[in-house]
Structure 1
């Protein structure tokens, strides 16, 4: 499961529920997107991004993900681990899923708002990219209440 600090707890709860249903261990993954210079999409398009010289920021985010996971999964009896990856979230999660031969990938939807809409326009949806670029099932869990069909998402608060 892909996780960000402060992510809605029900995404982790759904991942834990499916791990139990599948009798599989849960791997909670945080991807530090600030720790790469360039990467290449499977279609060959090369991207680049600035390096964040504050390496501690990624470590702090991973610590937060681990703490949130430990709190949420305490007493669940579930076998789980946390891993930190770097680079593009969709590619990093795909590669780890291949390495672990994961049965299912769980991610949350993005937060609503203009800033997230702009970010997604430039970087694309992690869930959509995962669904199109690998063979595993992807469970996309809504982070919050859905946007009414008659309300454009870009104006949601």
Structure 2
């Protein structure tokens, strides 16, 4: 794989990394920040559980997870799971899910639009300049796969 083939990953700033540590700690203790959960996913190499704080989103009765920073380690781990088995936690409450990547732009675009409408203040910097909830369907469709979207189905 050449450098041009490497998936885009937007690294967090120091402020964002600090905010994520605070959000992870609060979420572990049962305090959700606008839908935050601790995502637990098995590492594709180590096989050990890995944790990161994420924003769960409900849209039209379904639950979604968006990776605003791109194809991060947690995304690679989820993609490597044969059954998409992940869990989310808020304090002691744990929910098991089957994660299925949404690759059809017709299905992913409304999710990305809603995600940006809700969390652009937090994640807008991880999207290309000028991309927002009011962007065209074509502009958002160009992000499908680069900003992965997963549908979570309760197990």
TM-score, scaled to structure 1: 0.28
The structure with more radius of gyration:
1
Which structure is higher in helix share? 1
TM-score, scaled to structure 2: 0.29
Which structure is higher in strand share? 2
